[in-house]
Chains A and B, each alone.
Chain A
Amino acid sequence: VAKTSLTSPPWPEVKLPDPVEEAKYHAEVVRKVNGLISAGEYGRLFAVVHFASKQWKITSEDLIMMDNVLEAECGDRIRMEKVLLVGADDFTLVGRPLLGKELVRVEATVIEKTESWPKINMRFWRRHSFQRKKIIANPQTVLRINTIEIYPRLS
């Protein structure tokens, strides 16, 4: 049969590696990473956390400011549960979409609950004698990330 433009797909031909060898490779990688975590040979950990409907890339001793009210008093310790990604220098753990709660632990303390600087909302329509001015001060909360810990429970 003659070759037309539709005989082969427009993408280059793909060959996936052998599944058996791949399984062995995956098991080895998991063993190595577990060994590193249990030996504690990582430096600073960073995590991507979903909090207050936003995603934050955080490390320990980090300050975070949210544009809303948190129902916790100043000085309360908070555990952030929705962790999407945890990484160190040599390895990263990517969640699909979240990582398990027994794997990561992110702790934070509420430091400050203030209002933002007075923002001015103004609407003006020229030649129509229409102007409205409103001053808005949103409540804000400041959190300090204390620790990020991982436990070697990969499989």
Chain B
Amino acid sequence: MVVLSAARWVRSRLSDRFWRVQEVLKYARHFRGRKNRCYRLAVRSVRRAFVRSTKARREKKRSLRALWITRIEAASLEHGLKYPAFISNLVKSQVELNRKVLADLAIYEPKTFKSLAALAQRRRQEGFLAALGDGKEPEGIFSRIVHQHY
């Protein structure tokens, strides 16, 4: 006789359940407690670990930049300059070094960092002098003190 459909008592059953479970447990082997052994608990922990690692990859850039800024601030304070003054004057002197490299120079090349701080300090003083101008009062304005005669 011709049988066109499988008999009802034949079900398809998993044969590689062990390897599917190991795929998840291998990422949980260094966890603490029962979540490194039991699949049900491990699935939840591994999922949270993956999500946290994706979010941390975006946060890492921000926290590294904050670390560099802290280090540059500490190094420039050793040379008598504050961080905003240092960075703004370096940029105005057309020195385009980024914070990562400045932090590395502050750690490993102290003499170079000192020369950069001196450059920023000199540019800052030139900026102050330029802001003061000539010292003359603008035309058409008389002096501040106005004598009132009653």
A94 touches B119 (CB 8 A): yes
CB within 8 Å for A124 and B47 given contacts A48-B101, A87-B112: yes
B125 touches A16 (CB 8 A): yes
B96 touches A84 (CB 8 A): yes
Stretch among B10-18, B33-41, B48-56, B73-81 lining the A interface: B48-56
B116: interface (CB < 8 Å): yes
Q: How far is the CA of A131 from the CA of B47 in the complex (A)?
A: 9
Contact of B95 among A2, A87, A97, A123 (CB under 8 A): A97
B95 touches A96 (CB 8 A): yes
Q: How far is the CA of A92 from the CA of B116 in the complex (A)?
A: 10
Interface residues in B56-103 (C-beta closer than 8 Å to A): 57, 93-98, 100-101
Q: Which residues of A contact B145 (CB under 8 A)?
A: 1-2
Q: Which residues of B contact A127 (CB under 8 A)?
A: none
User: Interface of chain A, helix or strand or loop or mixed?
Assistant: strand
Q: Which residues of A contact B47 (CB under 8 A)?
A: 122, 124, 131
A residues sitting closer than 8 Å to B (CB atoms) are 1-2, 9, 11, 14, 16, 46, 48, 55-57, 84-85, 87, 89, 92, 94-97, 119-124, 131, 133
B residues sitting closer than 8 Å to A (CB atoms) are 47-48, 50-51, 53-54, 57, 93-98, 100-101, 104-105, 108-109, 111-112, 115-116, 119, 125-126, 128-129, 131-132, 143-145
**Could you list 24 A-B pairs, sorted by A, with CB under 8 Å?**
A1-B143, A9-B131, A14-B125, A14-B129, A16-B126, A57-B104, A57-B105, A84-B95, A84-B96, A84-B97, A85-B97, A87-B112, A89-B111, A92-B109, A92-B115, A96-B94, A119-B57, A120-B50, A120-B53, A121-B54, A122-B50, A123-B51, A124-B47, A131-B47
